[in-house]
Structure 1
Amino acid sequence: MFKFTSSEVRDLIIAFIVISLSFAIANSGRNMTAALHILPMIMVGVGAGFILHELGHKFVSMKYGYWAEFKLWPQGLLFALITSFFGFVFAAPGAVYTYANYMTDEINGKISIAGPIVNIILAIIFLAICVAVYPSAVYPSAIYSETSVLIFIVCALGYSINSFLAVFNLLPIGNLDGSKVLRWNIGIWIITIAVAGIMTFMSMTMGVENIVRLIMGI
């Protein structure tokens, strides 16, 4: 059964707020006024990306019959805030801990890859919404809508943040997901980090609007 402890809910909320603020600072050029202005929009992408990423780990763990619980890493939260002032976010606010006496590399790999896969899927969904609303988000346009502009901005941030979270967590460093996926299956690791890496690279070099225009052929 999918259960949460009160301390787990508390830790998820704290991590969500701090990580959202960190991405807002990084995406606003370290301008705190601008960061607070875009914070609600950032929260949509981070909220979906961070929370569902962790729930992906938790769901797969519990599917295999293990108890799993998210726990905060205070040093990771502090590091995320510090790095945000340098224009990027080291997003390691905590982790889902799976309690098991024994676990194969395959099961550990499947639990670990669940989070990044969630981020990749969310990024694709956000990008699809961007494509859908783009005609009415472009000015001048016969169907121009300020609501569409807002939706486009929110989803563009959602695409960028989730593609970054996917590639970051797939890095084979320390206790990140990538290390466990790599131990399980190098082929699956190469494919997933390549997909996430291409999505992130396009976001950082082209910008989401140009990706949308490329998809639409305009």
Structure 2
Amino acid sequence: MSTNSTLRFSSRELRDLLVAWVALGLAFAIFFAGGGQRALANVVGGGVAGPFLVSLLTAGVGFLLHELAHKVVAVRYGQVAEFRADYGMLFLAIMSAMVGFIFAAPGAVYHRGRLTDRQHGLIALAGPVTNLLLAAVFVPVFVGGVTLGSSFLSLLGSRGVVINLFLAAFNMLPFGSLDGKTVFGWSKLAFLAVFVPSVLLTAGAFLFGLGF
């Protein structure tokens, strides 16, 4: 492991993180508003600020911390690592939300340097595990919102849970450039230990309509 493990951010990386955070917040706000005309009606009616804030604090934060987890672990292993936004995919996320579904691939942390399979696997695993931890953090927010009768807190908590569970499950799929493929190639046991609970918890959340 390299001793040069200082976490640094370039101005371009900070800009890309900010743009991706806002774009994802907008995309998820449109999606949860029903997309298309329903979302536009909310904008006209002045009812978009709350949903947008909720999306920034749930989907946006889930994405940010997912990517930062990759970066932190990569830097710990002596890598040069930076996030790069995919502006085309961010545009697609917003457009897909307009027609009623969400397809979000906002970018990725790119790193270079020599790594073992285990280190590659742990870097990949860091993102989905972070989303699972975030889902757990949002549970008391949801419970507190229900207890206090706060619709904002209950919505924030429920969406924080379901979005982060979904992010964990989706990114653990063992296909393409997703984290799950790297983790699966390193350790099938580690893959199953994260993938199976993520999928089951996500399915349960959707089954009970959490976040909608």
Tell me the TM-score normalised to structure 2 length. 0.87
Give me the whole-angstrom Cα distance separating, in 2, the residues matched to 1:163 and 1:151.
18
Counterpart residue identity of residue 8, structure 1: E
Structure 2 equivalent of residue 164 of structure 1: 166
Of residues 8, 12, 28, the one that matches 1:7 is 12
Counterpart residue identity of residue 180, structure 1: T
How many Å apart are 1:86 and its aligned residue? Answer: 4.0
SS of structure 2 residue aligned to 1:91: coil
Alignment of 1:108 onto 2:131:
no
Within 5 A, what are the aligned runs for 1:84-103? 84-100=97-113, 102-103=114-115
Residues 57 and 114 in structure 1, CA contact (< 8 A), matched pair in contact too: yes
Alignment of 1:127 onto 2:139:
yes
Residue 86 to residue 198, structure 1, CA distance change in 2 (3 Å): farther
Residues 169 and 177 in structure 1, CA contact (< 8 A), matched pair in contact too: yes
Within 5 A, what are the aligned runs for 1:13-28? 13-28=18-33
Structure 2 equivalent of residue 207 of structure 1: 209
Structure 2 equivalent of residue 195 of structure 1: 197
Give me the whole-angstrom Cα distance separating, in 1, the residues matched to 2:117 and 2:94.
33
Tell me the TM-score normalised to structure 1 length. 0.85
What percent of counterpart residues are identical?
35
Superposed CA deviations along residues 125-154 of structure 1, whole A, max 9, x for unmatched, are 1012212342222xxxxxxxxxx3311111
Structure 2: unaligned runs, 5 residues or longer: 1-5
How many Å apart are 1:78 and its aligned residue? Answer: 2.3
How many Å apart are 1:187 and its aligned residue? Answer: 1.6
How many Å apart are 1:157 and its aligned residue? Answer: 1.2
Alignment of 1:118 onto 2:118:
no
How many Å apart are 1:95 and its aligned residue? Answer: 0.3
Residues 91 and 165 in structure 1, CA contact (< 8 A), matched pair in contact too: no
SS of structure 1 residue aligned to 2:7: coil
How many Å apart are 1:48 and its aligned residue? Answer: 2.0
Give me the whole-angstrom Cα distance separating, in 2, the residues matched to 1:8 and 1:41.
24
Counterpart residue identity of residue 136, structure 1: L
